[in-house]
Structure 1
C-alpha cells in the first residue's frame, strides 16, 4: 500500500439506492474539475434493505448490494485513482443494524444464545438485574402488550426446510433448535397410534426429536461442545427437511401442529402452547415501550434497531474491519472517518489499534506514528480539547463549523436578543437548566435501563466496603443520574490499569460532581463523593474482584454519558432553547453568543499548530441547518430592534390561527419563535410556482413535526400527540396561505428578503474562510450552490448534479477564455441569488488550493490587523509557507456597512478610511486578487505595509490575494 495520503479537500456523498456507485463514478470528472481531491463516502457496507444512510450496517464484511456490485465499486475506485483522487470512508465501529432480522450475526445469537460465536460481538448483559432475562435478550419489537399481540395472532409459528421460525410482521425470528422438539413431539403418541409402530418416517422423526434433546444447551461455552451443537443441529435440520419432503404423513402432522400452536382467536387458552414455546427462546418478545427500562443490550443512543458491538474484543475488531482493511491495503480507501467514537469502550485503544494495523501493513511514511489518515466524529464541549494522545488528524469538523459561524453573530446584541426571547415566550429560560432537565428526561424516558444497571453496579461496590455499605440503591442511582445530568462534556476517557485518568478528565469529573451537589443540597454529599472517587480511581480496591468491578463501573459510566448528552442536548435542548437557533448546531453552545475576531484568530492559530489536517465543515449530514440557513439567521443578531418589531407584529396577526389542544395553545410561543426563524432561514431565493410553494410548505411542516417531537414538550416520538401536531401543521397552512390577502406574508416577505440579502454575504465570507483557514475544507453534497436545507431527512434530498456539471463547464470556459475576471465577477454579483457566485468562489479557490498543497496544509496562520472606521466589520489573515503567501479578507456584521441590503458591501464609499496590514517583504511586493484578477500594491503607513479595504473589496466583498513578488 502507498504511504499515507492527506486530502486537501473533501466532497461528502450519501450512497443509497438512489445514488449508487455507478452514479458516483459519473461525477468523478465533475468533482475533480471543481478542485476536490478526495471523495468522502458515507457507509456503503451491507445495511438494512432500503437504508437511506447506511449507518445501520448488517454485514461489515460485504458491500451493500443496493449501492452496487463489486465490479461497479471497482470501476468507481479506478475512476477516482485515474483522477488522482483519494477516498475517505465513513466507518461505523460502534453498532450494527438488527432491524427486520437480516443481520445473520444477530440472528445466530437469537438462535443459539451465549453459545453463539457471535454472542461476544454484541454488548449483551446475559445476567441482568431482571432475573427473568438471565441468558436471554429482550427484544422490544411489539406494537402492543405481549399478551394482546399473541392472542391477536400477530405472532405466528412457521416451518420451513427443517427449521421453525417465529413471524411478527417483517420480523422473522429463529427458534432455538432444542425447543423445536416441543413442536415435533406434540401429539406424537396419537400419530403413532394412528399409523402404528415401525413406521419408518415416524421412527426417523422420533430419532430427530431425541437428537434435538441431546444438543448441547445454549449456555454451553466449551468450544468442542459448541462445535458439536452447530454440527448436529445442521444435520438434524437436513434430516427433518428430508423426512417432511418424503412423507406426506409427517408433513401433514407438522402442518397441523403449527396451526395448533398458533391458536384460535377468541380462545386465550389456545395460545398457551405458543406462549410456552416462546418462553423457551433466547429472546423475550416485549412491547417496544419497555425498552427504556428493561433492555439488556447496549444500543446506539436509544435506537432499539441499532445494537452496540464490542470492538474492544480482538476477535470482533478483526472481523468487523476485515473488509475495511482489505480496501485500505488495496488503496481503494485512503483514509477513515470514525463514526460516534465516544460510544466505544476505549476510543484511545481502538484508534491506536487502527494505527498499529496500518504501521504493520502500510509502507513506511513520514508520520510513522500515524500512517493512516484518521479523523473522528467527536463533539467537543466548551473549552474541551481533543485528546492529543489520540493517534488521529483531528475531528470531522463540527468545532470549526461553530467557530466560523460565531464570527457572524453580533455579540453586542446578546442582552437585547435574550430579553426579546423571554418577552415573546413569556418565560426566561436558562440554557444550562434546559440542558439539565433535558438530560434527566432522557435518562427517565429513554435510558432508565442503562441507569438502573449502573445503579446496581454501584450498589454491589458499596456493599463490598463497610465504609459505604449504608448507601441505599436508590440514593446511589439518584447520584449517578444527577452527575450525568451535570456532566460538562460528552464523556471522559479513563482507561484501565494504573493511573489512566487525564488531567482534563479529572477536572470534568470534579466539576460534574460539584454541580450535582449544588443542585441536590438535601442529599448527602458522601454519596456523590463515593461516586467521584470511583470515577477518579481514587478508591482503594482491596481485592482483584474489587478492582475489576470498579473498572467495569467506570467504563460503563463513560459509555452512558455520551448518548445521554447527545439525546439531551442535540435532540432535546436544541429544540427548546430557541433564542437564536443558528447557534443550536451539532457541537455548538447556544450560550456562546458570537465570537470576536481576536478569539477566532487564536482558535485558528491553535488549529494550525495542533490539527492542521482536521476537516473544516460548515454543513454535514447531521447538521440541524445548512450553512446558508445559519448565515441568514445570524443576521437577526445584527437587527434586534427590527426583529423585535416584526415578530411581535406577526404573533398578533397569526394568533387567530392557533388552536387549543387539551388546554394548550398550538403552537406555543416558543415553537412559534422557532417557526419564524426557520422561515427566515429556509425561504428560497427564487420565485415559487404553486407546486414549488406547496413543496416548500410541506418541508416546513415536516421540519416542525420533527422539531416538536425532538423537543418532547407537547409530543414526542415515544408518545405522539397527533391532535397537537395537526394543529401546528394547520397553523403553518394558514399563515402561509397565498390564496387570499395575507397580512403576515405581506409584512414577512420584504423583511425576509432583506435578511436573505445580508445573509448572502455571510455565506460567501464563511465559504472563503473555510477554503483558506487551517484545516481540510469539507463540502456536503449540493452545497456548491445556495442551499437552504434543514435537518435530515430534508438535507438528504436528491441533488441536481446535471445542472452543477453544466455550470462548471460554463465557468471553466469563461475563466479559460480570459484571465480578466472583473466582468465575470460583476455579472455573477448582479445575479448573485442564483448561486453561481458561490460556485465561482468555490471553484476558483479549490483549484488554487490544489495547486498549493504545502501553503494550505503547513502554512503559518498570521492574523492581520485592521484599523479605521470599519475595523470591526472585517476579518483578515495571511497564510505563509516559504516563498508562498496569500492574504485573506472577508466582511462581517454587514448590516453596519450597508443600510440598503440590496447593495453589495464593496467600494471605497462603503469601507471609507479603513486599512489592512499585510506582511512586509520588500517595497516592490504586490498582490493579485484570485477572484477578480485585480492587482494591488500596498502603501507604507507608519512603517507598515497596508492595503485600503475599499480597494481590497472594490469589486467583490471577499478577497484572497496571492503575493506575486
Structure 2
C-alpha cells in the first residue's frame, strides 16, 4: 500500500510506543496517512536513535515491548492509518557486547561461534576491539570476574577454560584483543558502518543471516502491522540489488524505500524492486528552487567544490578508513602499491557506488582522472576492479560509499562554505540554485519513473532544517549586504579559519534566535567535523576557545547581539515566504510527502542531535484546533501559517488522491513571471513565490498572471474564489505567498 503521506516520528525511550499511540489522533487530524518510525528493534541500552540495533530478534524493550507496539498498531488502524518502519540491515551495535547476544557469542567462541558468519571478520588474527584509554598501562585495569573480563565498565566474555591466572594472560588467550581506541581506524579487522567502530557490519547477503536478522520484521509485516519498509544505507551491503530482491519477495506488497543518496545526474537503478528513495534528491531540487542562480558569482570560493570533495575523500580514506583500505589491498598482494591506488580511485569516484557493471563508466572516469603516479598500480588492478564478481571489486564498492559519506558530507561539507543552504545530505553545493524550468523537468521525470518515491525537506540526518535553509536562501538575493555584514562581524570576533567563520555566521542568522548552548554545541561539532584546526580525536583547546568566543559574542557583546538580532529579523519574513513556498512544493509535487516531526511549525534545528530534540505536540494540537475553528493566521513567528498549509495539503492528498495523478507546469506571464513556481497535479494547482526579497524591491507582482482552464477555482488555504482563464498573481497571493487551487 502506497501512503498518501508520512510523518516521521523519532520513537525513542523518551517518546516511546505508548507516547506515539497518544499522538495518533493528532496525526490523523493533521491529514497524515502513515506514521513513519525510527527503528524499533532491540537497540543498545539508552540509545537515543535506534540505529545501533543489538538484537534484531525482538522489539526494543526500552520502547515498551510487543504489547505497546500492538496498541500503537491498533490505534493507527482505528484511525485509518498505517505504519512505515525504518530498518537497519547493514550493521549491529557492538559498543555494549553483553547487550548483543550474537556479538557476545563471537567474542566468546571466535570463529566457532554459530554467529561468526553474521559478521565480516578477518580471522587471520584475533578480533581487534579499540576500547582502551590513553593511559600507558591501560591493560593494568583489566579484571577477571567470574567468566568475564572487565575493563572499567566494559564487559567481555571469556572463552571456555581460559579464566585462570593474571588478567593480562587471560586476555592473551581470548579470541579478541583490547587495544587503544586510536588504533581502530588503522588496525580494525571487522567491517563496520562508515568509520564507526561501535557498529559492526552484518553479512545479510548470506540467506541464513538474512532470515535470522529479518524474521521479526517480516513477522510484523505478515501480521499486517507494517505497510512499508525504509532500508537504511543499502550502499554498505555487499549486494544491494540482491538484498532488495530478497526483501521484496518476502514482503511483496510492502512500500519499499532506500536511503540512497544520488549524485548529480545519477538515477536509482531501475532494476531495484523499490518505490524510490527517502527523498534527498527531491530536497535538493526544492531547496535549490528558492536560491537565486544569478547570484553565484557573488559567492566565490577559494577552490572548486570538486577539489574540496576530492581532498576530503582522500583524507578520510587514509585516516578514518585506513583499515578498510588495507584489507582490500591485501586481496591483491601481486600489486605492491595497491593501497595508494585504491585511495586515489576512491577519492576520484564521483558517486556513492558503481553498481557494476552498470556504473563501469564512472569507475573508468575516476581511473582516467587519477594521479599519474598511481596509474601503473591502477592498471594492474583494473581487470579485477571492473569485474562485478571479483572480491576486490565487491569490497571496493562497499568502500566508496563510506569514503563519500565521511569525506564529503562530514568533511568537505564543513569546509567549503560559500553558501551552506546548499551543503546538505545528498546535495550538490556546486549547483547554485535551480531554475523553474530545471525543476519542472525533474518533477516530470519523477512523475514518470518514480511516482511513489518519498519527498522530504528535513530528516534526522539533515545538516540544518528546512526553515533554516529557507531563511539562508534569502542571502542569495542580497549578496553585497551579506558580505559587508560578515566582514564587520568577523573583524569584531575573528577566527583563524575564515571558511569556518563563514559557516558559523550563516548558521547564526539562519537559526536565530537560538539558545547559547545549542549554538556552542553545533559550532564545536562543525569545527571538529571540518578537521582543519581541531578534530574529534585530537581537540585543540585554543582553537575551540576561539570558536566559543565567536558564539558568545552573539550573546554577550551588546552591539554584536543587537546587530545579529536585527539582521535575522530583517530577513525573517522573506525566509517565512521561502519556507511556505518550499513546503507547498514538496507536499504537492510528485511522490509521497514526508513531514519530519515538528516541522509543521517553524523549526530552526541544526545537525543531529539538535534535530532530535523533543517536540511540543500540545502546542501543535492547540493551534490546529484554532485553525479548524476558522482562524486564518498571519505569517508570523508562531508558524501557524505553516501548520495551516501542511494540514490542508495532507488532508487533500488523503481525501482526494485523484487530484494528484499527473504533472503539468503552469507558467506565468508578466513582469514578475520568474518569481512564480506553479504546476497542476491533475486537478489541484500549486502556486508559490520565489525570490521574495527581489520581488518586493521590484514593486511586487504588477501585471503577472497565470493561465488556467476550466471552472472557477478556490484556494483551500484562504477560501478565496477565482475565475479562469487568467488569474492575477497579486490577487491569488494577497494573503499568503502560496496558494493551493482546486475546482470550486
Common fold by TM > 0.5:
yes
1:402-456 Cα distance to aligned partner (Å, 9 max, x none)? 10000011111101111xxx5xxxxx12211111111111112111111111112
1:438-483 Cα distance to aligned partner (Å, 9 max, x none)? 1111112111111111112122xxx3xxxxxxxx412x22111100
Instruction: Compute the displacement of 1:562 (Å).
Output: 0.3
In the other structure, the counterpart of 2:133 is 143
- Give the Cα separation in 2 of the matches to 1:372 and 1:55: 21
In the other structure, the counterpart of 1:542 is none
In the other structure, the counterpart of 2:490 is 651
In the other structure, the counterpart of 2:312 is 438
- Give the Cα separation in 2 of the matches to 1:346 and 1:59: 23
Answer yes or no: is 1:8 the counterpart of 2:4.
yes
In the other structure, the counterpart of 1:106 is 103
- Give the Cα separation in 2 of the matches to 1:537 and 1:301: 24
What is the 5 A alignment of 1:904-943? 910-918=700-708, 920-921=709-710, 925-938=711-724
8 A Cα contact 1:486 1:513, kept in partner:
yes
- Give the Cα separation in 2 of the matches to 1:446 and 1:527: 23
8 A Cα contact 1:667 1:731, kept in partner:
no
- Give the Cα separation in 2 of the matches to 1:832 and 1:12: 25
- Give the Cα separation in 1 of the matches to 2:488 and 2:145: 63
- Give the Cα separation in 1 of the matches to 2:381 and 2:723: 65
- Give the Cα separation in 1 of the matches to 2:46 and 2:387: 46
In the other structure, the counterpart of 1:77 is 73
8 A Cα contact 1:653 1:743, kept in partner:
no
In the other structure, the counterpart of 2:512 is 683
Answer yes or no: is 1:623 the counterpart of 2:462.
yes
* From 362, 367, 378, the counterpart of 1:528: 378
1:210-260 Cα distance to aligned partner (Å, 9 max, x none)? xxxxxxxxxxxxxxxxxxxxxxxxxxxxxxxxxxxxxxxxxxxxxxxxxxx
In the other structure, the counterpart of 2:187 is 294
* From 945, 951, 958, the counterpart of 2:731: 951
- Give the Cα separation in 2 of the matches to 1:171 and 1:652: 48
Answer yes or no: is 1:760 the counterpart of 2:558.
no
Q: Helix, strand or coil for the counterpart of 2:345? A: helix
- Give the Cα separation in 1 of the matches to 2:373 and 2:197: 36
Q: Under a length normalisation based on structure 2, what TM-score does the superposition of the two structures give?
A: 0.98
For residues 723 and 649 of structure 1, do their structure 2 counterparts lie closer, same or farther at Cα, with a shift above 3 Å needed? closer
Q: Helix, strand or coil for the counterpart of 1:96? A: strand
For residues 708 and 750 of structure 1, do their structure 2 counterparts lie closer, same or farther at Cα, with a shift above 3 Å needed? same
Q: Helix, strand or coil for the counterpart of 1:807? A: helix
Unaligned runs of 5+ in 1: 128-132, 184-260, 262-272, 360-370, 423-427, 464-471, 495-500, 539-549, 656-665, 685-692, 815-823, 901-908, 939-944
Q: Helix, strand or coil for the counterpart of 1:117? A: coil
1:143-192 Cα distance to aligned partner (Å, 9 max, x none)? 136x61123xx111111xxxx21001222111110323xx1xxxxxxxxx
- Give the Cα separation in 1 of the matches to 2:569 and 2:352: 39
In the other structure, the counterpart of 1:331 is 224
8 A Cα contact 1:654 1:735, kept in partner:
no
- Give the Cα separation in 1 of the matches to 2:646 and 2:181: 47
Instruction: Compute the displacement of 1:63 (Å).
Output: 1.1
In the other structure, the counterpart of 2:336 is 473
- Give the Cα separation in 2 of the matches to 1:845 and 1:752: 29
Instruction: Compute the displacement of 1:667 (Å).
Output: 4.8
Q: Helix, strand or coil for the counterpart of 2:440? A: helix
Instruction: Compute the displacement of 1:952 (Å).
Output: 1.9
For residues 735 and 34 of structure 1, do their structure 2 counterparts lie closer, same or farther at Cα, with a shift above 3 Å needed? closer
* From 734, 738, 749, the counterpart of 2:553: 734
Answer yes or no: is 1:571 the counterpart of 2:410.
yes
What is the 5 A alignment of 1:41-56? 41-56=37-52
8 A Cα contact 2:707 2:727, kept in partner:
yes
- Give the Cα separation in 2 of the matches to 1:671 and 1:509: 32
8 A Cα contact 2:512 2:565, kept in partner:
no
In the other structure, the counterpart of 1:155 is 142
* From 419, 429, 443, the counterpart of 2:303: 429
Q: Which has the larger radius of gyration?
A: 1
**Root-mean-square deviation over aligned CA pairs:** 1.5
In the other structure, the counterpart of 1:719 is 538
In the other structure, the counterpart of 1:787 is 603
Instruction: Compute the displacement of 1:869 (Å).
Output: 0.3
- Give the Cα separation in 2 of the matches to 1:88 and 1:712: 37
Answer yes or no: is 1:838 the counterpart of 2:624.
no
Q: Helix, strand or coil for the counterpart of 2:277? A: coil
- Give the Cα separation in 2 of the matches to 1:957 and 1:565: 38
Instruction: Compute the displacement of 1:767 (Å).
Output: 0.9
8 A Cα contact 1:90 1:338, kept in partner:
yes
- Give the Cα separation in 2 of the matches to 1:668 and 1:734: 17
- Give the Cα separation in 2 of the matches to 1:384 and 1:926: 41
Q: Under a length normalisation based on structure 1, what TM-score does the superposition of the two structures give?
A: 0.76
8 A Cα contact 1:844 1:931, kept in partner:
yes
In the other structure, the counterpart of 2:526 is 707
Q: Helix, strand or coil for the counterpart of 2:599? A: coil
- Give the Cα separation in 1 of the matches to 2:424 and 2:550: 26
- Give the Cα separation in 1 of the matches to 2:398 and 2:319: 18
* From 94, 113, 118, the counterpart of 2:115: 118
In the other structure, the counterpart of 1:750 is 566
- Give the Cα separation in 2 of the matches to 1:597 and 1:66: 47
In the other structure, the counterpart of 1:277 is 170
- Give the Cα separation in 2 of the matches to 1:958 and 1:358: 40
Q: Helix, strand or coil for the counterpart of 1:646? A: helix
In the other structure, the counterpart of 1:130 is none
1:253-299 Cα distance to aligned partner (Å, 9 max, x none)? xxxxxxxx4xxxxxxxxxxx332221111001111111111110001
In the other structure, the counterpart of 1:865 is 667
